[in-house]
Amino acid sequence: MPSLTTDVPAPQPVRRGPRILFIGAGSQGHAYAEPITRLHLGQVVAVCEPIPFKRSEFGQRYIWGLSNRTPLPHEEFADWADFVKYEVNRRERVKSGEIKEGDAEFKGVEAVFVTVLDELHVPVVKALAPLGLHIMCEKPLATSLDACIDILGAVTRGWEVLGRKTVFGIGHVLRYSPHNILLRKLVRVERVVGDVISVEHAEPVGWWHMAHSFVRGNWRRQDMTAPSLLTKSCHDIDFLMWLLCSPASPNSPGTPHVPSFISSTGTRNLFRKARKPIAAGKATNCISCPIEKSCLYSAKSIYVDKLLADPENLDWPLKSVVPEIEDLYFNDGKPAAEKRLLEVLAEDYKAETPDSEVKQRSWFGRCVWDGDNDVCDDQVVTITWEDDSLPATGAENGVNGSVAEVGALNGRAAKTVLFHMIAPTEKICERRGRIYGTTGEISYDSKTISVHSFATGETINYPTETAGKGHGGGDESMAESFCKAVEAAVSGEMEASAAQRHWLGCEIEEIVRSHVAVFAAEKARKEKVVVDWKDFWEVEVDGRLKKQARA
């Protein structure tokens, strides 16, 4: 008969992935929380959000449900600092024996998604780092190079104090879309066009998307956030650095082939007062403008006539204008939603309004030709690599690479990238480009990849996949990869650094390197110079880290 001894291990509860806190309940927070909940990748157990409606909506969707129960104290916080204070106190109570870590009411979180405004990333991440939590920070890491290095120093110092690493990711979601993973495999592992000679890559921002986010919205001013190359196109610079700079296999780290020079030109060309139609007169708001009905960028036309006409469009960008738009539409009817939308669009500032007040919020009904925006709507970046050969290794060359196949330069030959960010486009953020190699050419957009062989004259079209909606499936895939990395680290299956390399494919240093490329390009644009990568890194990165260490 079966043994009745008590040394048989008691059955352990099945884990449902890491326990996750979201700091920020905006559109990007929902973009990550939704697939985590739907795919059971983890448990969203708490939210920090200062706007009550957004906090309540997020909690009802992912945490406490649609029941009428009052959220528990550990499930919602009005401010991220409130959570930090709560968590420090909770740990002290556990340590003193007042409460038990395993008690359902007092369980801590294991991972945090930081999806607040860009300028808040530094204080939030620096406050979280000493707690030893696994962190996924929305892009960009920070709004200045100094702040990026500050985060790097805070996280690595936190690891030293803790005596262990944690998983740290960044929302560079283009890396995680199935389409781009296949594209990189074709280029770096299978080497279908030989050595890369040159790349042309474009991000078409979209005519009304640029107006919404970078002329009227949160990212319109550099003194509020950062240059548009960082806030909008750091995705693309990271994609290009990942494609050409990072080692072919993240699981066999090698020496990155870093750029040699970076240059850039760009300006606010389209959305400026010089292009304001004469017939608009002194009007500064669409609702009161005499040519509103004929203006391409009429806020009423975009938000009310086009977007509100379709109930499928009630998420972004309408929720950026009126967060409660869905409730109004479905509970009170379309006329009520339209009325509230028009009220918000009619809000405007005057010439005498203090600038400190103007920059505190978005003005979605403001004339696009007469606003306070100053970020580029047309920018070109050129990144140049020089020959940088290393001894042949399988890790550097890919699966089948050898010196005979790739040449004496071992796949690290000179190459050039031309990146173009442009606002007035039909496509909305549907990237496109061409890769020119020694043996063939690749053309791609957000849905297709075509490889042409010079030797055979044949063109092969590769089918691509998507996972979810955002960024070609990159949002969902990145959230999944992060949760799996954290679960592997929390369960003890892998050390955090190994889990990060396996699931996220990069270390924090690579995250920072992509940001450095953006800031180097901005220096080149503003100062009209060509930036030497080695010198820039030595001064701006190593110099800052040494200064931190001395401090």
The pLDDT > 70 percentage for the chain reads 92
Three-state SS at 527 = helix
CATH number of 19-171: 3.40.50.720
List, by residue range, all CATH 3.30.360.10 domains of the chain: 174-270+374-468+507-533
Give how far Cα 286 sits from Cα of 64, 343, 541, Å: 40, 12, 45
Give how far Cα 155 sits from Cα of 130, 165, 178, 325, 446, Å: 8, 9, 29, 38, 34
Q: What is the tens place of the pLDDT at every residue in 390-402?
A: 766 554 444 444 4
List, by residue range, all CATH 3.40.50.720 domains of the chain: 19-171
User: pLDDT averaged over the chain?
Assistant: 91
Query: Dihedral sign, CA of 44, 50, 52, 57?
Result: negative
Q: Which of 409 and 59 is assigned the larger pLDDT?
A: 59
Residues 6+ apart with CB under 8 A from 181: 175
Q: Which amino acid is at 154?
A: A
**Considering only CA atoms, which of 42, 39, 36 is closest in space to residue 16?**
42
The pLDDT value recorded for residue 468 is: 62
**Considering only CA atoms, which of 212, 179, 269 is closest in space to residue 465?**
179
The pLDDT value recorded for residue 396 is: 47
3 has pLDDT over 80: no
b/e per residue 252-274 (b: at least 16 CB within 10 A): eebebbbbbbbbbebebebbbee
In whole angstroms, what separates CA 388 from the centre of its chain? 30
Q: What is the tens place of the pLDDT at every residue in 316-373?
A: 999 999 999 999 999 999 999 999 999 999 999 999 999 999 999 999 999 999 999 9
pLDDT band at 248 (very low <50, low <70, confident <90, very high): confident
The pLDDT value recorded for residue 389 is: 79
Q: What is the tens place of the pLDDT at every residue in 405-433?
A: 556 687 789 999 999 999 999 999 999 99
Q: Are strands 19-23 and 111-114 parallel, antiparallel or unpaired?
A: parallel
Per-residue pLDDT, averaged over 139-149, amounts to 96
CATH topology for 174-270+374-468+507-533 is Dihydrodipicolinate Reductase; domain 2 (3.30.360)
404 has pLDDT over 70: no
Per-residue pLDDT, averaged over 79-104, amounts to 92
State the helix-helix crossing angle for 145-162 and 121-128, rounded to 10 degrees. 10
